[in-house]
Amino acid sequence: MALVLTEEQSMLKSSAKEFLKARTPVSALRKLRDDKSETGYDPAIWSQMAEMGWAALTIPESYGGMDFGYTGLGQILEETGKTLTASPLVSTVLLGATLLNKGGTDSQKQQLLPAIAEGKIIIGLASEETSMHRPNKIDARYMDAADGYTISGKKVGVLDGNVAKLLIVSAKKDGDSGTSLFIVEANAPGVSIERTIMMDSRNSANITLNNVKVDKGNLIGQEGEGAALLETTMDIARIGLAAEMLGTMQEAFDRTIAYLKERQQFGVPIGVFQGLQHRAAIMYMEIENCRSLVLAALQAVDAGAPNIAEMASLAKAKLGETIKLVSNEAIQMYGGIGMTDDEEIGFFLKRARVVQQTLGDYNYHLDRYAKIKGY
């Protein structure tokens, strides 16, 4: 498949760029942080995103979506990475809608996917239980109960968990190694939510479930068979996060190049110094490699390719390595002012550090990629 966007995808990318540049510049994230926003994002902006169809892009038309594909969503995520836009796109669309579409019952899809497409509901995926990404480490337990189940356990790092209406919770039954997934109402008795604001000023939450009752109809897929669904969902989300990282590193690079042309030292712009030119050239080449990799991975998802896990770990590892390089170089080339809150470049470094860790860091995915390839 050619690594080029279709005309419709290019138009979507252009319109997203114009909207985000005008409505959610980095200064908007700074304001959310300084105002100590209770939601961590602007609900009015999110409603406008939904009205433009962004929340519906990957949802089938039969469930109120546009069925436009993940390559299209990836273009929007890339543009949000450039402006560091905080929104429920990752938690609700990339993770929540994907999991429900891949494994939910028809009843669950009919009830929830149209609401997601319209931007009326936020979903938090409650799967992580440790500070490091360990998707198979699940200590949360559930038991059979009258007309359903009861769930107990603790989850950490739930994206948008503090504003989510529904949670998708992973748990295991005593004596059974299989993972099951449940839809849990965030305000259900026994659910305790503690908001944690990450270093990039985005939402996260630690969640405790104490004998939380759910109906049988809230089980996603088959009992004990949720691990594969969870991993598939995470792989698609990892590729989506790679698209966002591409946008973040591109914007950080562009700002750094502009600064090299502007900053004067010894009467000349510092960009004329060969050492800095070499470092900039390395960043440029690495970003271009990442651009091809991200597009190939997004197209693989839409094509239903059999190597999605391989592409996901390759993309997450490479993009994680490169965004660290670019964000570090950006701060160094800006010099002392880059470390101050007056300059916006520091926001890119903070986002880089968080997104590097989300759903597995460089080391996790390099190891996973090696195992997939038989090493």
Under the banding of pLDDT at 50, 70 and 90, the label for residue 190 is very high
Average pLDDT over residues 288-295: 98
pLDDT tens digits, 197-242: 999 999 899 999 999 999 999 999 999 999 999 999 999 999 999 9
8 A C-beta contact, residue 99 and residue 76: no
Please give the pLDDT value at position 336: 83
Average pLDDT over residues 278-282: 97
Question: Mind giving me the DSSP string for 259-328?
Answer: HHHH-EETTEEGGGSHHHHHHHHHHHHHHHHHHHHHHHHHHHHHHT-TTHHHHHHHHHHHHHHHHHHHHH
Going by the DSSP 8-state scheme, the letter that residue 342 receives in this structure is: T
Domain spanning 227-372, CATH architecture: Up-down Bundle (1.20)
Q: Tell me the C-alpha distance between 323 and 133, whole Å.
A: 19
pLDDT tens digits, 325-371: 999 999 999 998 888 998 999 999 999 999 999 999 999 999 999 99
Share of the chain above pLDDT 90, in %: 93
**Could you say which of 3.40.50.300, 3.90.1150.10, 2.40.110.10, 3.40.50.150 is the CATH number of the domain covering 125-223?**
2.40.110.10
Q: Which amino acid is at 17?
A: K
**Local structure of 168: helix, strand or coil:** strand
Please tell me the CATH code under which domain 7-120 is placed: 1.10.540.10
What are the start and end residues of each CATH 1.10.540.10 domain in the chain? Answer: 7-120
Model pTM score: 0.97
What are the start and end residues of each CATH 2.40.110.10 domain in the chain? Answer: 125-223
Q: Tell me the C-alpha distance between 360 and 66, whole Å.
A: 30
pLDDT tens digits, 134-180: 999 999 999 999 889 999 999 999 999 999 999 999 999 987 889 99
Question: Mind giving me the DSSP string for 169-238?
Answer: EEEEETT---EEEEEEETTSTTEEEEEEE-TTS-EEEEEEEEEEEEEGGGEESSTTBHHHHHHHHHHHHH
Q: Is 185 exposed, middle or buried (0-12, 13-18, 19+ CB in 10 A)?
A: middle
Map tokens 């939510």 to a residue: 193
